[in-house]
Chain A
Amino acid sequence: MSLLSIRDLRVEYTTARGTVAAIPEFSLEIGKGESFGLVGESGCGKSTLIMAIMGYMGRNGRVARGEILFEGMDIARAGAEDLRKVRGGRIAIVYQEPATALNPSMTIGRQLMEVPIAHTGASAADARAQATRVLADVHLPDPDSVMRRYPHQLSGGQKQRVVIAMALLANPALLLLDEPTTGLDVTVEAAVLDLLNELRGKYGTALFYISHNLGVIAQVCDRIGVMYAGKLVEDAPAAELFANPRHPYTRGLLGSLPRPGADKRTHPLVSIQGVVPSAGRAPDSCGFLTRCTLFRPGLCDAAPVPLLATSPGHLVRCLRWGETEEPAALASGAADIAVADGDIVMQARDLTRVFPIGKRKLLANDRLTLAARRGHILAVVGESGSGKSTFAKVLAGLDAATSGTLQVLGDDVATLPVRKRDPKKVAAVQMVFQHPDGTLNPSHPVGYPLTRALRKFGFSADRKAIEARVAALLDMVRLPASLRHALPRQLSGGQKQRIAIARAFAGNPELLIADEPVSALDVSVQAAVINLLLRIQSEQQTTLVFISHDLGLVRYLADEVVVMYLGQVMESGPVTALFDPPFHPYTEALLSAVPVPDPTVRTKRIRLDGEIPSPLNVPPGCRFATRCPRKLGPVCDSTPPPARDAGHEHVIHCHIPLERLRQTEPVFHYGEPSDAAVP
């Protein structure tokens, strides 16, 4: 008997514009102890489904049809008292944002103790013992001290561990996870995923994991469902889904992701055209037909498409699943190391940015030395707090360095904010920002930043010439010219980022800084925006400084990579050299933490202990010494590491001799099934 059985579920919301079916029809079975992952982009109804399973629909939502049977009880029709017993007791949930899941005014201990007291009527002493034990289970160091602390005294990763501990306290049969690692750094995410896999074995809890990230799902789940427009479009065992994706949407999602071993020349990303329709707006027959390349009129739009079995255990909601071609085999192993050529456009030497905080000093950038060549893509990677965004700001002229030199297009601009720089070179250095919602002024139509930029860059004084150029810019980013009169709030996130790219390219920049330009976008949109950026970059031979935390993406698009940690460069070199040994131990750990959307790729497991130290109080020797799994000894703590040249401009800052670094085993092994995905 299955644990959770959703049959023919229809969830509706009442809005000012009438009734909207957020989930038109949904059926699913989850067995005891099973780990099921549900993938889909934002707006596909994933969160609505989770809320329905918790019996928590809000005032304007209701289950219009069908049933949600959990341990034999229909949650959709259960009374308040029954639901109270189930929630937090038999079904627990972990949300995306750990900071808001915990009460900031109560100690961790009190919040945890509430669970056994409320659900099993445990005594205070008993509850305290249980809470301490479960905190130890989620590998929080010194559980007794954590019990006495308040949420603000913990880091994001620690808070998420506390939330998971709280969810497990009542020993639930089903744990719902709604993007639990989305806001976390990649090394922390990897540790949380490990934890979930471990606890699943220990507690025997069934997992229902929701994410937009196929890589993350691949690490935790046995079975994966793909949701689109409120319907399950594909349902298969994890290995089968990655090996033989059948639904065009699943294939699109996988094609949108850079896979290890693929780069922009050998395997361009394939994006899905269009955007997810708003709730209730998708066609009844096949919700995906408006974006599908296989759409055939008269067949696909005739009647609602049922779930069809392609092989035992593999269901797909597509009439033409047999015509989806076999996935292309991935190239494996190292590609040739590209020879560095082209003159140097940007060169930083000992670039330092110190923020005085009272009497203390925050070292955001500490003696950075790096360079970018004309027409190349330089990726700067690192976790939050590594100082990569500070570097981007100094480079753009939005902030000024404290010391060091920064040669950009022949001038030293290290301490010059943009207004003090050569006015003729303003258009030559531009930037694309991270947040689609903040990048455009909500009060002005989207054509305005383009017109204004052209005017300020002295493109032309003639209104007609400017209008024509705006139309050309919009065409360059594949947007209709009529869109220039729209307000930013009428645009989707991807469209806003396209406008931001058009704005940056208005004055034909020589150096473009892109600070996490796609990290806030949905997967299918990410691929389209990246493709667009790369096309324009290579057409115009622009030098691109690409700031990112996503190593998969960096591997795909960069020519050179700089790995930063706590304001310093750990390793730099050509992308092909960086992803194979010799590695800096930090790079190795970062690579190992990348969630790979492919169970056939086996990843070496390296996990970092502790948290990134505060930039107010940096370690005196190697910055990474406090967390380094390959630390040699006291020398790492006391002496800054030497720069070791591995050839081809590949430089590693580490005390470990190069010969030993060369002997390191590669992080990725291709072609064998991963033990992480099939436990």
Chain B
Amino acid sequence: MSAVITAAAESAGRASPSIWRRLPSSPVAMVGLGILLFWIVLAILAPVLPMLPPNAQDYAVLGHPGSSAKHWLGVDPLGRDLLSRIIWGGRTVLEVAPIAVIIAYAIGCAMGLLAGYYGGWVDAGISRASDVILSFPVVVLYVILIATIGPSAVNIVVAVVLASAPGIARIVRGLVMSLMHQEFVAAAYLRRETDLFVMLVELLPNCRGPLITDFCLRLGYTTITIGTLGFLGLGLPPPNPDWGGMVKQATSMITVFPQMSLYPTIALVSLILGFNLLADGVTELSQKD
């Protein structure tokens, strides 16, 4: 096992597919990356920025909740500073989404590799289980899950992993099945490589192209999911700032103070757009290969 990992690390270290290095040549990807970096920098700097605390209430401005020198973007229906809540809310999304997607990838890749490599009843078992999960409407699945296990950051991760892993497994399974018949895999067998080695070193690295695109897209979907869950009241428990929850809270006042729901919506949309543009750019670059 350790030999497998060493070999994988060695080859990964030396091989430079460097789709990332060619990223600057795609304007679409650069715009996406710019938007993402904007939010990432804000999220990292949130604790040191000279902002009001996200949960502090300012009842004095509730009569005029719009922009002011003190509250640049105004306040929410409870008098909390919108700018501060948006930045802190971004921090949550940017923590939860990547963690959830990375775990989903670890599980999904493992499932897909096993199903595609062994075929037969292993494939049948994994694929049917995936089909069952994928046949639920995603939102219904989330509502059932979170309503059962309770809203928290950890449970959002659990829900996203459960809903995403089968889709990832399906992609990996298809790629593995087409790669299995390549001659370099036969050459590995002639060296008596183990199944684990063939899966992790010979097959998985060649799934990279489609998976990188899917990874970026899936980060976008997960951001949507987190927003949706927040809007349905299944996001982070209050009073933690949560973009979806902020939109929901302000909907009752949408005709009077539309900015209260507009600003968190813009934040959400821009982040999703960032992930999608990056995915587009990566796809475009990998097709140029």
Contacts and interface: CB of A to CB of B under 8 A. Distances in A.
B144 interface: no
Contact of B17 (A396, A423, A443, A449): A443
Interface in A530-551: none
Counting chain B CB atoms within 10 Å of each CB, which of A430, A444, A456 scores highest? A444
A10 B163 CA distance: 58
A450 to B, nearest CB: 11
Contact of B183 (A435, A452, A456): A435
Contacts of A430: 190
A397 B190 contact: yes
Given A445-B14, A452-B7, A440 B184 contact: yes
Interface string A427-466: 0011101110011111111001100110011000000000
A398 B198 CA distance: 14
Interface stretch (B168-176, B201-209, B275-283): B201-209
A439 B184 contact: yes
B15 interface: yes
B206 to A, nearest CB: 5
B60 interface: no
A418 interface: yes
A259 interface: no
A448 B8 CA distance: 11
B11 A398 contact: no
B206 A431 contact: no
B187 A433 contact: yes
Given A433-B183, A448-B11, A449-B184, A441 B206 contact: yes
Contacts of A442: 206
Interface string B189-211: 11111000000011001101000
Interface in B30-48: none
Interface residues of B, number: 21
Contacts, number: 69
A425 B100 CA distance: 47
A353 interface: no
Given A418-B192, A426-B192, A452-B7, A443 B187 contact: no
A433 B186 CA distance: 9
A503 interface: yes
Counting chain A CB atoms within 10 Å of each CB, which of B183, B193, B202, B206 scores highest? B183
B175 to A, nearest CB: 12
Contact of B190 (A398, A438, A440, A443): A398
Given A397-B190, A418-B192, A419-B192, A443 B15 contact: yes
Nearest to A457: B191
A355 B67 CA distance: 76
A444 B205 contact: yes
A646 interface: no
A434 to B, nearest CB: 7
B186 A441 contact: no
Interface string B1-32: 00000010001001111000000000000000
Given A445-B14, A448-B11, A439 B183 contact: yes
A564 B198 CA distance: 33
Contacts of B191: 426, 452-453, 456-457
A456 B193 contact: yes
A457 B191 CA distance: 7
A122 interface: no
A431 B14 contact: no
A485 interface: yes
Contact of A439 (B15, B16, B187, B206): B187
Contact of A431 (B15, B17, B190): B190
Contacts of A656: none
Interface residues of A, number: 31
A521 B193 CA distance: 29
A354 interface: no
Contacts of B148: none
Contacts of B255: none
A412 B205 CA distance: 36
B196 to A, nearest CB: 13
B182 interface: yes
Contacts of B193: 456
B93 to A, nearest CB: 32
A13 to B, nearest CB: 16
What DSSP secondary structure best describes chain B's contact surface? Answer: helix
Interface in A469-490: 485, 487
Interface in A221-247: none
A444 B192 contact: no
A418 B187 CA distance: 11
A242 to B, nearest CB: 36
A167 B3 CA distance: 59
Contact of A441 (B16, B17, B184, B192): B184
A81 B9 CA distance: 60
Contacts of B184: 438-441, 449
A429 B190 CA distance: 8
Given A441-B202, A444-B15, A485-B14, A434 B192 contact: no
Contact of A443 (B7, B183, B206): B206
Nearest to B182: A438
A398 B206 contact: no
B186 A431 contact: yes
B212 to A, nearest CB: 13
Contacts of A396: 186, 190
A335 B205 CA distance: 52
Contacts of A456: 191-193
A445 B14 CA distance: 7
A537 B184 CA distance: 22
Contacts of A444: 11, 14-15, 201, 205
Contacts of A500: 187
A396 B191 CA distance: 11
Contacts of B186: 396, 398, 431, 433
Contacts of B7: 452
A457 B187 CA distance: 13
Nearest to B204: A443
A487 B192 CA distance: 23
Nearest to B192: A426
A405 B205 CA distance: 38
Contacts of B206: 441-443
B11 A434 contact: no
Nearest to B191: A456
Contacts of A443: 11, 15, 17, 205-206, 208
Contacts of B183: 433-435, 438-439
Contacts of A439: 183-184, 187
B254 to A, nearest CB: 49
A485 B186 CA distance: 22
Contacts of A418: 189-190, 192
A27 B15 CA distance: 46
B192 A431 contact: no
A445 B190 contact: no
Given A423-B192, A457-B191, 7 more contacts: A418-B189, A426-B191, A438-B184, A444-B201, A445-B15, A500-B187, A503-B187
7 contacts: A396-B186, A419-B192, A431-B190, A435-B183, A440-B184, A456-B192, A487-B17
Interface of B: 7, 11, 14-17, 182-184, 186-187, 189-193, 201-202, 205-206, 208
In order of increasing CB-CB distance, the 6 nearest A-B pairs are A443-B205, A433-B183, A438-B183, A441-B184, A456-B191, A439-B183
Interface of A: 396-398, 418-419, 423, 426, 429-431, 433-435, 438-445, 448-449, 452-453, 456-457, 485, 487, 500, 503
